[in-house]
Amino acid sequence: MKYIDKYIKKYGVVKGFTLIELMVVMAIITVLSCIIVPLLFGYIEHANNIADAEHARMIRDMVYARHSLYGDLDCNNPHYNPNARQTRDNYRTRGYVYVDTDEIRVSSMQIAEMLEDAGYIKNASQGRIRRQSSNGTEYSYPIKQTAGNATCFTNLRCRSTKKWDTWQVDFIMDESGDISFSFSARAGTNGSGGDAAATTLFAKMVQGGSSTDDMDIGPQR
C-alpha cells in the first residue's frame, strides 16, 4: 500500500475508463471487424481464383506446346460416347484435366506424364485407374495431404471455395488435327447450380479459349 500511496502523491490519481467508454470502444472494434474480416476473406478467395486460373493457363500452354512440337497428343476420352454425341463431337476427340479439392483426373497417361514433368504429379505411372473403356483410360491422383502412404499423388488442387470448387481444362482435336481449348468450372460438386456463372468467370480469368456452361466429365462419381 505504501508504494501506491507514494505513487498517488507523486502522480495523482490515475483515472481509468468508465464502463460506457469501454462499451463504446468494443462496439467500434466489432463494427470494424464486421467490415474488415469479409474483405480479408474476399481478397483470399480472389487470390485463390487467380491461382486456379494460372494453373489452367499453364496446363493449356503445356498441352499446346506438346501438340505443336510433336503432334502426338493423346486426346482419347474414356467418357466419350460417339453414339450419344454425334452432333456435338462429330469427327472430334477430346482430352481433359479435371481438378477439384481432393484429386485430379486426367484422360490419358500421356497427360499425367506431362503433369509429372511440370511438377504437378509424383509417380504418374502408378495412378489409380478410375475409368477404362475402348476410348481410353482415366487416371486419378489424390492431393498430397490425403494421399497417406500412397506413392503417387498430386500437388495440384482447386484452391477456390466460393466462386467454384471444381475446374477443368478440355482440349479438343478436330479431324484436320487442329486443337482448341475450353474451360469450365462448377460451384457445388454435388450438382447444384452455379455452373454457368462459375464457368464464365473462370474462362474469363484464364483469358483464352472458349467456355461451356456444363461440365459433364468431372463431377461423375
CB count within 10 Å of CB 123 equals 13
Report the distance separating Cα 62 and Cα 21, nearest Å: 61
Per-residue pLDDT of the chain (221 residues; tens, 9 = 90+): 566 666 566 665 556 667 777 788 787 777 777 776 666 667 888 899 999 999 999 999 999 999 888 888 887 777 765 554 444 444 467 889 999 999 999 999 999 999 999 999 999 999 999 988 877 899 999 998 776 667 889 999 999 988 999 999 998 887 777 888 889 999 876 444 447 888 889 998 997 544 444 443 333 33
For residue 193, the model assigns a pLDDT of 44
**Which single residue is written with the C-alpha cell 488442387?**
157
The candidate with the shortest Cα–Cα distance to 181, out of 166, 168, 170, 165, is 170
The candidate with the shortest Cα–Cα distance to 101, out of 46, 146, 53, 40, is 146
The candidate with the shortest Cα–Cα distance to 57, out of 220, 176, 207, is 207
For residue 157, the model assigns a pLDDT of 93
For residue 212, the model assigns a pLDDT of 47
